[in-house]
Structure 1
Amino acid sequence: MAATPQQIFEYLLAVKNLTQPPVRDFRQLEESAYVNDLPRGEGCYLFGEGETTEAWLEVHKQQIPSPPEPDPLFKDWLKTDHYKAHVLPEVTPSKEVLPSLHFGKDDPPFREEKFEDRPERAEAFRQWLVRWKNWAEKARHKSAVQDLYNRLFTLVNRLEREGETLELAFGHGLLLWDLPEKRILHPLLTTRVELHFDTRKGRFTLTPTQRGTVLETEMLTGVKLPQEAHLPRLRKWVEDTRLNPLDREEAIPFYKEIAQTLHPEGEFIAGGGRVKFRKTPVILEKPVWFLRKRATQLWKDELRTAVEALGQGMKVPKTIQSLLQMEPIQPEKQERTAWSGVGEDLYFPLPANEEQKDIARRLSKNFGVTVQGPPGTGKSHTIANLISHLLAHGKKVLVTSHKEPALRVLAGKIPEEIRSLCVSVLGRDS
């Protein structure tokens, strides 16, 4: 008995979940932090507070000032390092001092001197300590901002090397749920952001991409949900309305709805306070940001979308049908007419041999053509010809690749006159 398209996609999704289990706790991702733990203030701006209004995080390089220099009256009495802003300076309560170079045999060679014995010394320390505390408060904040700046500097270098497989995102609507062996701590709404580094200004910005905010439910994989059928509708609503998680008037009603969808006793709790795990789901207003591998996530998102669409009665494309049966599917008369010119009038901007031309002819008569060849046999050259040819016939072309550099190489082979028609959808410059 042949499998249905929906069963095929469900199987592929199940295999992905087995080989790459869902992350239920966002703290297990590559990098993560609560937004409330960031050093918000001068040099670290959130959600449009800084120079770049569209940035959700803006971090400036810091110059940490030196502490006020201790007065010689008490400098030798300090027993802590006054350069450490997180350590309150202290003085030695007392010292043994040599009273004189001339003393009798019955006189003690040393005497004890207390720090408070000289009022002018104690007063100088008190006044200096006030200045030090003002410095320390600013220095602690600037140090925290600089630590974040250094963290982002390391991150931007990593993204330059591994940007094809990693993504940065903000998460809102933090779900807490203590299930048997499945404790969940993960945001329901995620917004992918791009990290930009302005080397002249010494400034990092994290700005939302055009993809917008999406509802994530992968962390619920394997959890029995009586109202699970409503999740695709909520996911589509989030994307169609372009829900803004920063707008509480939009977000809070959604949090309440999904909490009640997950469980009859599910609830939303406003504010960012600490809440213990419960046996029923709780959604918090506690934003987070994180770095994670995106290759797996993209696969699962696409498979899940296909399963949901097929479940709602989406018409299965013949290209997919042809993969599920042994007998070839013949194009209908209308389809043959629409594609007949593709096999007759060839518009190849680059040199081509008969085998490459034959690919275009086969495309006009079949729902799929597989072309194989080892590296260096001209596949990119052929694809560039086919893209130009199909565009000339008014067709749309989607090109996918396991690695992004291959797409850049291909884009370089497209004639300059039509190169502007090539749009990156999922690359780093999307």
Structure 2
Amino acid sequence: MTDAGDGREPDGRRARAGTAGRAADPDRAAAGGDRHGGDRHDKVLRLLQYLHDLARSRSALARDLDDQLGVIELADLGERWRADTAPGATIVTVGNRDAGDPASPYARLLRMYDEITEHPESLELVLASGLLTARSGDTRIRAHILTQPVLLERDKRGKSISVVLPRDSAPRFEDALLLAGLDGFDLSGSAELQAELRESVRTVVDPACARFTERWRSRAVTLDGARISPSPALVLRTRGSSPLLAFYDAMLAWASDGDRPLPPGLVQLIDAVEVDERLQMLADCGGAPPRQLVQDAYYVLPSNVEQRDILARMGSDSGVVVEGPPGTGKTHTIANLLAALLAKGQRVLVVSEKAHALAVLEDMLPPDLRKLVVSMTDVTQDGAASLAASVTEIATRKSTFSEPLIEAELKDLRGKRDQAIERREELMRQVWRLRSSESETSEWMESGYSGRPAEVVERVRADAPRYSWLPAPVSGAVPPLDTNEFGRLVSLLRRNSDLFARRLSHNLPDLGSAVPGFDRIEQLCAVVDRAPSGGDESGFAELRGAVDPAALAEIRARADAAAERLEVVRRYPDEARRLADDLLLGERGHVAGRLAGLDDVLAAAVADDEVLGGTRVQFSEVPGAPPARRWTAMRRISRVARHRGGGSAGRNRRTSRRPASKCVSTVRR
């Protein structure tokens, strides 16, 4: 990964290859960069010229098909191909028939597929036509002059291989590349034919290409015996070095200008450069200082101290080496450094031996940042489409760029970031305080717990079974009951019997229509609490004013009736109370069913008794007589009534002499 500077030049010249221009500075004569300026420029020029010549020597042209890595004529595929294939479509598909035969079309295509997959940076596959056969002096020529890049796509199940035309693929004339410098050829009209070819045909296997090649032969070839035929074929060959040579030419032109600073990387290839001089050279090339790179660095992925240290070192030297075995986060680190440098206005070039590593790095970037990546990887696939999409996205953003709008958005994002940083610092302080409190010993607890918080928690957990009866959790910072109230609650619970506990489960009638709601009762209680003591009834006057008179009268009447019935129930013996409790709990449903409509039956019985002239018995209060005796007397009188109703009166005297007869005050016949 290389920091390419911000691309701005004071003198208006455009930056190239990771360097930036600078204004002339006569004071730099004694500086490190110019101390050996002339000598270093000469050395750099000689180095670049050597690399240029080396690349040219290794890019010898294969003017004979026999010198290519692989050639398969379309006629040998045994399948019908489409001459009018549109970009992005399939030209021909070959099935895996006779795959075991090394000479079968599928096996030959599979070998090409494996080769170009293994070496995508150095090999290319082209669809070729227009086979030229000629001889110029001692040079034999047997090569196609029309080529077009194609792709090989293998079926996931391995049953077929397809030859696909990339979306940006176009036919091209290669006459100048093959025949330049040879006698017997006039290439002055090839540019015109190239433009006409691009406008008229979409593939080099189009039948119309035969007319172009024949016209070219008649105008460009002056050798006797030269002939040209369509002969369409798939050719696997070494990539040409024309782009590399053009790059070296541009570097030579740049280095030839003595006023421009040499890139530190080139200088270090031919001379030892001290740290101070390297820093000066970085500053001259527009590199940002380390403090500027590290300050407010924006990372798109989680970062650590080591990554921030790498960013600082990138500003303090011309190179940083980061080593580590696979899986230690090197790609993660590069993604963070790339984003941080772009946010600082720097340009970044990322290179790798394998295209897969660059694809993994690109996938790590956020979508908005990924759109700005100009990728030159994966040449075996249709990579030109993604390249065009990236360039289009960059051009669109540049055309729609509005500095005031971006500044406002940046200001808002910086504010949110500052708030997030403050929140993080506050949380860190809270964590620090909590961790500090873990080592403090507490002695103020009245419940008998003391020690460090962890020890208190352990004791509370150990005592949890003893207090499992509490209806936990008890929420709130303040307990709902203070110590005195809690003690009062415990005493009341201990005093109540099992009968009281059973009454808590009574099925009471719905009181929603008889009493005010909970909120209203709270308001009334608040009025009562505000009422002053000492007999002042102003608070109660406010209470009466806050309640509807009709509702107050209804409440009073219901309260009196409830008090009267409560007094009657209190006189019942224990047996009757238990019966009433069972009925309210729903445990004696059969009794409740028999009591339904009992009021009507009693009323009818009283009316019939009046008609028949029955005997009326009236009980009077006997001082000191317990309720149980009254209840016993009533039962005995009922037995006497049933006995007499059966026609027997012989035992009347014995019955009336029992102690219960003392409770009878008057018997009226």
Task: Map 1:185-204; keep pairs closer than 5 Å.
Answer: 185-199=142-156, 202-204=159-161
Would you say 1:15 and 2:57 are equivalent positions?
no
Q: 2:556 is matched with which residue?
A: none
Q: 1:156 to 1:188 in 2, by over 3 A?
A: same
Q: Distance in 1 between matches of 2:193 and 2:229?
A: 19
Amino acid paired to 1:25: D
Q: Distance in 1 between matches of 2:49 and 2:82?
A: 40
Task: Map 1:280-291; keep pairs closer than 5 Å.
Answer: 283-291=228-236
CA drift at 1:230: 8.9
Preserved contact between residue 130 and residue 228 of structure 2 (Cα < 8 Å) = yes
Amino acid paired to 2:55: K
Task: Map 1:57-206; keep pairs closer than 5 Å.
Answer: 57-61=92-96, 147-199=104-156, 202-206=159-163
Indicate the SS of the match to 2:357: helix
Q: 2:339 is matched with which residue?
A: 388
Q: 1:304 is matched with which residue?
A: 245
CA drift at 1:56: 2.4
2:82 to 46, 52, 60: 46
Q: Distance in 2 between matches of 1:239 and 1:395?
A: 42
Indicate the SS of the match to 1:151: helix
2:310 to 356, 359, 382: 356
Amino acid paired to 1:35: L
Q: Distance in 2 between matches of 1:230 and 1:10?
A: 32
2:90 to 55, 80, 100: 55
CA drift at 1:384: 1.7
Preserved contact between residue 48 and residue 54 of structure 1 (Cα < 8 Å) = no
Would you say 1:372 and 2:321 are equivalent positions?
yes
Q: Distance in 1 between matches of 2:314 and 2:374?
A: 23
Preserved contact between residue 131 and residue 145 of structure 2 (Cα < 8 Å) = yes
Structure 1 or 2: more strand by fraction: 1
Indicate the SS of the match to 2:81: strand
Q: Deviations over 1:60-100 (max 9, x none)?
A: 4559xxxxxxxxxxxxxxxxxxxxxxxxxxxxxxxxxxxxx
Preserved contact between residue 48 and residue 252 of structure 2 (Cα < 8 Å) = no
CA drift at 1:178: 1.3
Structure 1 or 2: more helix by fraction: 2
Q: RCO greater where, 1 or 2, for CA within 8 Å and sep 6 or more? A: 1
Q: 1:26 is matched with which residue?
A: 65
2:165 to 200, 208, 213: 208
Amino acid paired to 1:356: I
CA drift at 1:170: 0.9
Q: 1:226 to 1:288 in 2, by over 3 A?
A: closer
Q: 1:183 to 1:213 in 2, by over 3 A?
A: same
Indicate the SS of the match to 2:150: strand
Q: 1:303 to 1:159 in 2, by over 3 A?
A: closer
Q: 1:379 to 1:62 in 2, by over 3 A?
A: closer
- Alpha-carbon RMSD: 5.3
Q: Deviations over 1:104-152 (max 9, x none)?
A: xxxxxxxxxxxxxxxxxxxxxxxxxxxxxxxxxxxxxxx99x9323433
What is the aligned-residue identity percentage?
22
Q: Distance in 2 between matches of 1:322 and 1:228?
A: 42
Q: 1:284 to 1:206 in 2, by over 3 A?
A: same
CA drift at 1:228: 7.9
Q: 1:401 is matched with which residue?
A: 352
Number of aligned residues: 321
Would you say 1:346 and 2:286 are equivalent positions?
no
Amino acid paired to 1:305: A
Q: Distance in 2 between matches of 1:240 and 1:319?
A: 42
Q: Which is higher, the Rg of structure 1 or of structure 2?
A: 2
Amino acid paired to 1:426: T
CA drift at 1:356: 0.9
Q: Distance in 1 between matches of 2:162 and 2:219?
A: 36
State TM-score, norm by structure 1: 0.55
Q: Deviations over 1:16-65 (max 9, x none)?
A: 343453322123222103334443xxx43233579x982222224559xx
CA drift at 1:358: 1.5
Indicate the SS of the match to 1:205: strand
CA drift at 1:302: 1.5
- Higher deviation after alignment, 394-403 or 220-229: 220-229
CA drift at 1:402: 1.9
Amino acid paired to 2:245: R
Preserved contact between residue 91 and residue 164 of structure 2 (Cα < 8 Å) = yes
**Mind listing any 5+ residue stretches in structure 1 that lack a counterpart?**
64-142, 267-277, 364-368
Amino acid paired to 1:204: I
Would you say 1:410 and 2:445 are equivalent positions?
no
Preserved contact between residue 318 and residue 329 of structure 1 (Cα < 8 Å) = no
Q: 1:303 to 1:178 in 2, by over 3 A?
A: same
Indicate the SS of the match to 2:104: helix
Q: Distance in 2 between matches of 1:243 and 1:13?
A: 36
Q: Deviations over 1:359-404 (max 9, x none)?
A: 45359xxxxx333344448654442222212343465544222222
Indicate the SS of the match to 1:23: coil
Preserved contact between residue 171 and residue 198 of structure 2 (Cα < 8 Å) = no
Indicate the SS of the match to 2:133: strand
Q: 1:330 to 1:196 in 2, by over 3 A?
A: closer
**Mind listing any 5+ residue stretches in structure 2 that lack a counterpart?**
1-38, 272-276, 384-669
